[in-house]
Structure 1
Amino acid sequence: MRHTVKVLHMTTLHHPLDPRIYYKQCASLKRAGYDVTLLAPVPTNTEEGEVPFEPLPKYSNRWKGLLFGTVRAYFRAKKQKADIYHIHDPELLPVGWLLKNKRNHVIYDIHEDYETGIVQRQYFTRPVRQLIASVYKKVEAFCTRRMELILAEKYYLEKYPQGLCVLNYPILQEKLTGIDRSFHQADGLLYTGNVTKDRGAVQHAALPALDESLQVHLYGYCPESLAAEMKQRAGTHEGRLHLHGEGRYVPKAEIDAAYAQSGWLAGIALFPPSEHYMKKELTKFFEYMAAGLPVICSDYPKWQTFMDTYQCGICVNPDSEGDIRDAINYLRQNPEEAKTMGERGRKAVQNYLNWGHEEKKLTNLYDRLNGIEAGEYSDN
């Protein structure tokens, strides 16, 4: 029976209420009858929901967390004696390798293209980054030989053809999918997700200067140093740049409440050129679509194809003020077309780009690992 199968999800890097980990995967498995616990750094003010926590201490220093947090995670996890260990961070690969034995299963959930991401980080010189990425690739290949792989993005199949795509599509919520949007006199641009330079912080900070009536809202963790830089970039227009996650984690409920508000003109994702993101279908695309919002995003070929397929947004050169202004003006001057774009996107999410379909793939994998008869199993 499913309820006898003990599952431990593990993260030392993500927030314990990370939507993919907690609200999607852990909650879905719990509802499916699995005995699920989440091992994670848990702030004292985090309320425990349907999935219980196995708390880890949270380290303010990233390197201490990498060393001591990982060691603590291993010993806490080992005591759990789980049937399935599901790890969500690359630093937990050695932990997963140590935990694996003949009586259990270990799943590595690949949230990011870490090899490419390491090369693009600016912490070290490029040769050092390339060396670290090469070492990571070898460690990953060794540690995952006896692991199941879950992939958050379709293109990761290029690197991990043995993996199972469980995509980060949104959970359908009637309070969002039922909104009747009006784009007449809309003046708000909405961004959700962590705020970083490679996710367009500089480009988004420049938006208020394009039009005196624009209000730009970003919901997601933004380091205080970057927030100061963005405000300086906005200059005299700083009052219309709203950073709702300055120095703090923004919970899912707050982001959902933002989506439910009226007055939005579009969801935005003006990312600068980046190999790390140009092949990804951003989670925020699907969330904007679910909320009935048209999308204004960078003109990566993959993103252009996505927008052409679903006819739900406009792609622009993220460094061209003219392109961005034209897109904003088009939506403003054509409110009915903006509404139609939003409805096309919402319909696509309601029909197939939603967590309900991905949930089945996740539970089918778990059932298969435990010899439980399940529905049709899909590997993409």
Structure 2
Amino acid sequence: MKKKIKLFAATTLHRADDHRIYHKEICSLLNDYDVTLLCSEDKIPKEFTSAINIEAIKSEESKLSRIKMILRIVRRLLREKNSIVIFHDFELIYAILLLRVFAGSNIYIFDMHEDYPSQILISKKIPILFLPLLSLFLMFSEMLLLPLFDWLFVADGFLEKKYGDMMNLRITAIYNFPEFTEIKRHVKSESELNLVYAGGIYFERGLKELVEIASRLKNSKLHLFGRTYTKMENDYLEEALKKNSNLIYHGLTPYDDLMKILPSMDIGLVMMKPNKKFRRNISVKQFDYMLSGIPVIIQKGLVSFVKDYENGFNVSSVEDAVSRINNLTAKDSARMSDNAISLIKEKYNWEYESKKIKSALEYLIILKGVSELQELHQDCQEKHL
């Protein structure tokens, strides 16, 4: 058996069973690499059964705990040579300073999940007076430290262009598309429509709009999967549930369980407000709806993979959404369902994104010439001939 190159995925903020990091990225690399996940000890669910080695990084309840955790990850990685390291949280960007000097034979990749300097400007956890200064600090950190990485993965084409124009970096957009699997179709009710929203249940994500849609529709039910984040949102939801018998709250539901339920629904809703926080973020739920074979209704102004009359509708208001729902025929719904599944199968699926990751890693192995593992190095060269 050929020796595999070691690959470390490091995170301080994400759970060990995070769907993108573990179930997609890590699992797609298992056959080719010896993968280890470095993760905060309090982010490892007790019931989680992993196919890889997970090393728990000690965490503490103190103001310096995050800094200490970064240093512990650095100390662990200093023992490695000729390995691949993928960082998944912005704070880990600072680890590259020590690692590039003292463990320079490794390949380092930063997986940027969002536009951090822009997102910090709309944070509600930090006093507003400090936000511009903090955003500038993050921008300076990126300009200084990102060039020290061998490759940059970003969440979408917007970030790929932004950082491609700003810096001369190797950069690839890795979209968080779903893994394509054949979904068992459900026999759906002809007497009522079942609408669904899955995700964070709070005002910015369209909680009031969802409740209003439910209140205006007859012969329909709106199913909510997720959780509220504030007492105000929780109180609003509880009051809405009392007033609307067709509004059904299922609470926070594991992803695998949710994907078994979605095919029984008729329409999936994405009603986030197209503000600074969401207008450039891609809602992955539109892909989960499409994979499940249900038409998508999405708010205009968001990054949409929905084409009107093909796999759903882009709507400008609650009134527009209600009108689209009321006028949707069974024939059109069936056609959109087939189109949605075809789009995921042929275009918007994780298989294509995982190939981008594998190609980047293989290119870097060839470029850096991981000397201790010549067999895999030779395999990668042969793939690119």
| Normalised TM-score (structure 1) | 0.85
Q: Distance in 1 between matches of 2:238 and 2:80?
A: 46
1:170 to 173, 178, 182: 178
Q: Which stretch has the larger CA shift, 291-300 or 224-233?
A: 224-233
Deviation of the 1:190 alpha carbon: 1.9
Deviation of the 1:65 alpha carbon: 5.1
Equivalent residue for 1:92?
A: 92
What pairs with 1:204-219 in structure 2 (closer than 5 Å)?
A: 204-211=210-217, 213-219=219-225
Number of positions where the alignment pairs a residue of Structure 1 with one of Structure 2: 361
Q: Distance in 1 between matches of 2:29 and 2:2?
A: 10
The residue matched to 1:49 in structure 2 has which SS?
A: coil
Q: Distance in 1 between matches of 2:138 and 2:37?
A: 25
Equivalent residue for 1:7?
A: 7
Q: Which amino acid aligns with 1:360?
A: K
- Whether 1:368 aligns to 2:368 is no
1:154 to 153, 157, 177: 157
Equivalent residue for 2:327?
A: 330
Equivalent residue for 1:297?
A: 298
Q: Which amino acid aligns with 1:275?
A: K
Q: Distance in 2 between matches of 1:125 and 1:255?
A: 37
Q: Distance in 1 between matches of 2:21 and 2:67?
A: 22
Q: Distance in 2 between matches of 1:239 and 1:34?
A: 49
Deviation of the 1:20 alpha carbon: 1.0
CA deviations on 1:215-249 (whole Å, 9 max, x unpaired) are 3333345436343343235552277241421xxxx
CA deviations on 1:134-177 (whole Å, 9 max, x unpaired) are 11111122121121100121111232114111211110112x2x
CA deviations on 1:336-372 (whole Å, 9 max, x unpaired) are 2112112111101111211111111111111111122
Equivalent residue for 2:39?
A: 40
Equivalent residue for 2:371?
A: none
- The answer to whether the Cα contact below 8 Å between 1:85 and 1:96 also exists between their aligned partners in 2 is no
Deviation of the 1:105 alpha carbon: 1.3
- The answer to whether the Cα contact below 8 Å between 1:209 and 1:234 also exists between their aligned partners in 2 is no
What pairs with 1:112-261 in structure 2 (closer than 5 Å)?
A: 112-147=114-149, 148-161=151-164, 162=169, 163-174=171-182, 176=183, 178-179=184-185, 182=188, 184-211=190-217, 213-223=219-229, 225=231, 226-237=233-244, 240-245=247-252, 250-260=253-263
- The answer to whether the Cα contact below 8 Å between 2:308 and 2:314 also exists between their aligned partners in 1 is no
The residue matched to 1:307 in structure 2 has which SS?
A: coil
Q: Distance in 2 between matches of 1:213 and 1:35?
A: 53
Q: Distance in 2 between matches of 1:157 and 1:348?
A: 23
Q: Distance in 1 between matches of 2:124 and 2:344?
A: 36
Q: Distance in 1 between matches of 2:206 and 2:257?
A: 21
Deviation of the 1:278 alpha carbon: 1.9
- The answer to whether the Cα contact below 8 Å between 1:231 and 1:238 also exists between their aligned partners in 2 is no
Q: Distance in 2 between matches of 1:81 and 1:228?
A: 53
Q: Which amino acid aligns with 2:84?
A: I
- The answer to whether the Cα contact below 8 Å between 2:195 and 2:223 also exists between their aligned partners in 1 is yes
* Structure 1 pair 251–182 and aligned structure 2 pair: CA distance change class (3 A): closer
* Structure 1 pair 134–54 and aligned structure 2 pair: CA distance change class (3 A): same
Equivalent residue for 2:370?
A: none
* Structure 1 pair 95–251 and aligned structure 2 pair: CA distance change class (3 A): farther
Q: Which stretch has the larger CA shift, 232-241 or 157-166?
A: 232-241
Q: Distance in 2 between matches of 1:38 and 1:325?
A: 45
Q: Mind listing any 5+ residue stretches in structure 2 that lack a counterpart?
A: 367-379
What pairs with 1:337-352 in structure 2 (closer than 5 Å)?
A: 337-352=332-347
The residue matched to 1:370 in structure 2 has which SS?
A: helix
The residue matched to 1:106 in structure 2 has which SS?
A: strand
Which of 1 and 2 has greater Rg?
2
Q: Which stretch has the larger CA shift, 43-52 or 159-168?
A: 43-52
Percent sequence identity is 23
Q: Distance in 2 between matches of 1:67 and 1:229?
A: 38
- The answer to whether the Cα contact below 8 Å between 1:37 and 1:53 also exists between their aligned partners in 2 is yes
- The answer to whether the Cα contact below 8 Å between 1:7 and 1:85 also exists between their aligned partners in 2 is yes
Q: Which stretch has the larger CA shift, 289-298 or 73-82?
A: 73-82
The residue matched to 1:308 in structure 2 has which SS?
A: coil
- The answer to whether the Cα contact below 8 Å between 1:170 and 1:355 also exists between their aligned partners in 2 is yes
Q: Which amino acid aligns with 2:324?
A: A
